[in-house]
């Protein structure tokens, strides 16, 4: 019957509304780990005394910095350290696994897993700082020892 259907619809809507309010009110700011919800990320502090920019700025804008810097680096060869991904990793790699990904305690993965934003970078970029020894070749041929590419020995070039 039409009126019965409408009543049911109204009840359902009210129920959904109530549940939504209840759910939203759960997430009060400052809660450490509300029961039944995802725990907020606990990140290891980076090396050094402070980041190249302040925390709130970085939270909002690190993606814009990275996207702009990467075009400058790839297309113009601008390799300044301040906003480079390599620079970030050098300070923020975890002391446990020397990486910015690998578990939800790692710097990049922690927040990205919490926010549900896919991390595309580390398909190509290494998540570890410095010159880790080269990975063994999957085809069984040993590589010569790695020379550090961070040692700048200018060669007089013609």
Partner 1 sequence: MSEKPSGGTQLSRRNFLGMSAAALAGIAIAPGVTLYDLAHGKPPGQATSGRVRWGMLIDTNQCSSGCSDCVTACNTENRLSGGTLATDSQWIRKLELKNTRTGKAHSLPMMCQHCENPPCVDVCPTGASFKRADGIVLVDRHTCIGCRYCIMACPYGVRFFVHEPVTGQNPEVPRGKGCVESCTFCVQRVDRDLEPACAEACTAAGHKAILFGDLNNPDSEIAKRIATYASRQVREDLALNTGVRYQGI
Interface residues toward partner 1, by CB under 8 A:
70-72, 74-81, 86, 89, 123-126, 128-132, 134-135, 137-139, 141, 143-147, 149, 152-155, 157-158
Distance CA 137, CA 20 (A): 53
Tell me whether residue 49 or residue 151 sits nearer to partner 1 (CB atom).
151
Phi-psi region of 122 (alpha: psi -120 to 50; beta: other; left: phi over 0): alpha
Tell me whether residue 64 or residue 125 sits nearer to partner 1 (CB atom).
125
Q: What are phi and psi of 98, to 5 degrees?
A: 55, 35
Residue bearing tokens 């509304």: 17
Nearest distance, CB of residue 104 and partner 1, angstroms: 20
Tell me whether residue 12 or residue 146 sits nearer to partner 1 (CB atom).
146
């Amino acid at each position: 019957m039409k009126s019965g259907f409408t009543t049911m619809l109204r009840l359902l809507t009210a129920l959904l509304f109530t549940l939504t309010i209840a759910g939203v009110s759960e997430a009060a700011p400052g809660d450490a780990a509300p029961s039944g919800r995802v725990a907020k990320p606990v990140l290891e502090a980076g090396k050094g005394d402070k980041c190249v920019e302040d925390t709130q700025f970085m939270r909002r804008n690190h993606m814009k910095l990275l996207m702009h810097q990467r075009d400058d680096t790839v297309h113009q060869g601008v390799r300044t350290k301040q906003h480079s991904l390599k620079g970030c990793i050098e300070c923020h790699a975890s002391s446990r696994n020397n990486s910015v990904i690998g578990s939800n305690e790692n710097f990049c993965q922690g927040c990205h897993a919490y926010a549900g934003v896919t991390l595309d970078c580390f398909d190509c970029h290494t998540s570890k700082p410095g010159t880790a020894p080269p990975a063994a070749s999957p085809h069984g041929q040993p590589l010569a020892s790695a020379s550090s590419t961070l040692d700048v020995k200018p060669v007089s070039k013609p």
